[in-house]
Structure 1
Amino acid sequence: MRLSALASNIQETTTFAKWILDIGEGKVGSLNDGDAIIDIPDDLLIVDSTDPIESDLFSRKSIAPKNEFIQEINERLLKLFPGAQQEYLSSDSLSHADFVHDNIDETLYSPDVLNGLRPSGMPIHKLVLKVGIPVMLLRNIDQKSGLCNGTRLRVIALGKRVIEVKIISGSNIGNRTFIPRMSLTPSDKMIPFIFQRRQFPLAVCFAMTINKSQGQSLSKVGLFFRQPVFIHGQLYVALSRVKSKDGLKILILDKDGKLTNKTSNVVFKEVFGNL
């Protein structure tokens, strides 16, 4: 459906759409019921890059499987983006009731320790922004106005207490609004205590994880696989964000960091049993 909306070459679009659907159903390459290695067509590959992050990915919305790669891409591209930067530091504090209840030594968790935590779905302690860069909203603020978790925004102005942004995804594209600081508590069960972070609920979004890209329709997508996908249907989700075949480019590195045309596709066919 995403491809057919703007299709100019019907035959090419039909073939490309079938290839994506076949990947989603585990029909590409060898018999796939689990983790299989598949070949990516040459016309979709980035094959002439010495620096993956500053390659053709720069002109596209970059998508990768893991947060660690996304953070690296965002930090590099933010430095390359023109303009003065503004730093916003969070205020992090512990939930004292949690420590009293669980008899945890509160002195072990200094402000520096809390500042260094990067729980999934939370803004970082040191948020660096520039006017004009894309950012992603990390919390539901006003669903009627399109301000939902995962909404992409563009920074218009940087204030001390609020940040002015323009919505660039969803059904409210073009609307301007202001984002305030919020007190946020992570839901990450791997952290053995509860703490609160007061920060703007934003993340730099030159790149995003595959999971965060779900539901997005993008005109230009660059997939970066330094490591392969690892979840059922993840490759299908990544490939199906794009509106046309011409808008998709893929950069794949092998375990030695060399360019390759092979990557993993994880499909467990038992998932389709009751569909």
Structure 2
Amino acid sequence: MANRYAFEAVSQTFQDIMDNQLPFGGKTIIVGGDFRQVLPVVKRESMRDQIAASISRSSFWNSVKILHLQQNMRSAQDIEFSQFLLRVGDGLEENVGGNFIKLPNSMIIPWESENSIQQLIDSVFPNMPDHVHDANYMVDIAIITTKNLDVDEINEILILKFPGEEKIYTSWDSVEDDNHNLFQEEFLNSLCPSGLPPHRITLKVGCPIMLLRNFAPELGLCNGTRLICRNLGRNFIDAEIITGPHKGTRYFLHRMPMKSEENS
């Protein structure tokens, strides 16, 4: 996903340091990725610009040796799904209307108004009330969607299934140096920029959460770390890490400042 200019800048830096005009100053550089999954994101530009920003258009690409991985570890237990992913990636799966791919029936929940969302939740989280304190149950399954609005809707339904009293946390809803009150609270509370949580978060003991910033990497608290709430205080969350080498460790998460990287 990285823009090729980032790689070329690193390559030029190594050339200057090593006083060597070979790519990356003659050093061996290992990168990983899959062009079949996602291209670099170039805001407000065309597909041609996205392709032009790809590492395969870099000046050093002719010096790159490509090594292909042979086994899909994420779907090793589901051969049918693994083969389906490969066909989609290779452009061999039959499409509909030129731009769409028909999913296998085994992956589809028929649309039946709002009941379909409940069927999806019950299918992914079977007997969830019986496993609210089971870390292994929570880490093995998840629902992934493309829009924050859908995430919020599903979270609201799921949180009701957890027993106990809910705890509501809200973000800071004022603007620094806004002496004339140009930004109303209602407007600020409605914003949900990429990389930031919503203004209002409802949690219960036993529900899973995910960090959105590097809080303490040396302790395993990084962007993307998944945890389970064990206790909910007024200004802190007592949470247990459920993934990685620090699995099972509990920490107190306090309020922290966060800033969106969006520039528009």
Whether these two folds match at TM > 0.5 is yes
Alpha carbons 2:95, 2:102 under 8 Å: kept: no
Aligned equivalents of 2:119 and 2:193: distance in 1?
29
Q: Give the TM-score taking structure 2 as reference length.
A: 0.58
Bigger share in strand: 1
1:197 equivalent in structure 2:
none
* 3-state SS of 1:173 partner: coil
For the pair 1:149 / 2:230, whether they are aligned, the reply is: no
**Which structure has the greater CA radius of gyration?**
2
Aligned equivalents of 1:157 and 1:116: distance in 2?
28
1:177 equivalent in structure 2:
251
2:86 equivalent in structure 1:
21
For the pair 1:88 / 2:169, whether they are aligned, the reply is: yes
For the pair 1:44 / 2:107, whether they are aligned, the reply is: yes
* 3-state SS of 1:156 partner: strand
Higher RCO, 1 or 2 (CA under 8 Å, sep at least 6)? 1
1:155 deviates by: 0.4
Alpha carbons 2:75, 2:81 under 8 Å: kept: no
1:141 deviates by: 0.6
Question: What are the equivalent positions in structure 2 for 1:1-275 lying under 5 Å apart?
Answer: 1-3=72-74, 7=77, 13-30=78-95, 36-47=99-110, 51-58=115-122, 59=125, 60-96=141-177, 106-190=180-264
Aligned equivalents of 1:4 and 1:37: distance in 2?
23
Letter in 2 for 1:108: L
1:106 deviates by: 4.2
Q: Cα–Cα, structure 1 residues 44 and 30, in superposed 2: closer, same or farther, change >3 Å?
A: closer
Letter in 2 for 1:52: S
Letter in 2 for 1:46: I
1:173 deviates by: 2.0
* 3-state SS of 1:84 partner: coil
Question: How many residues get paired?
Answer: 175
Q: Give the TM-score taking structure 1 as reference length.
A: 0.56
Letter in 1 for 2:240: K
Alpha carbons 1:49, 1:55 under 8 Å: kept: no
Structure 1 residue runs of 5 or longer lacking an equivalent are 8-12, 100-104, 191-275
Aligned equivalents of 1:113 and 1:106: distance in 2?
15
Percent of residue pairs identical:
36
Alpha carbons 1:53, 1:76 under 8 Å: kept: no
Deviation digits for residues 66-109 of structure 1, max 9, x if unmatched? 2211111111211232210011222233232xx7xxxxx84221
